[in-house]
């Protein structure tokens, strides 16, 4: 499976993990940020080097209350690191 496809599948899993609850503005901003940074190899990078720090911070805030969601975001972080973001 291509790394970008894996990332898209993880984003879908994250959305499903959030359930029917209406996502907060912060959650939507986070997902939009991840989607902006997920690009095909060879495309220019988005000039926001702190994406992984923002994701890691969000995971730590959510880990206790939403462990499944935090686990999926952990996998997203690993995938982003693997693809060089």
The DSSP element (H or E) to which 63 belongs, if any, is none
In degrees to the nearest 10, what's the CA dihedral of 30, 4, 6, 8?
Answer: 40
Q: Is 0.95 topped by the overall pTM?
A: no
pLDDT surpassing 60 at residue 2: yes
User: Taking the domains of the chain in order of start, what are their residue ranges?
Assistant: 3-39+48-82
Q: At what angle do helices 67-82 and 3-17 cross, to 10 degrees?
A: 170
Give the helix, strand, coil percentages of the chain, each rounded to 5.
65, 0, 35
Phi, psi of 59 (to 5 degrees): -60, -45
pLDDT digits (tens, 9 = 90+) for 25-57: 777 777 777 776 666 667 666 555 567 888 888
């Amino acid at each position: 499976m291509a790394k970008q496809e894996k990332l898209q599948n993880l984003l879908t899993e994250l959305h499903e993990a959030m359930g029917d609850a209406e996502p907060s503005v912060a959650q939507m901003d986070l997902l939009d940020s991840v989607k902006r940074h997920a690009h095909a190899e060879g495309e220019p990078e988005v000039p926001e080097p702190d994406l992984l720090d923002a994701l890691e911070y969000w995971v730590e805030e959510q880990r206790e209350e939403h462990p499944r969601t935090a686990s999926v975001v952990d996998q997203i972080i690993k995938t982003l690191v693997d693809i060089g973001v």
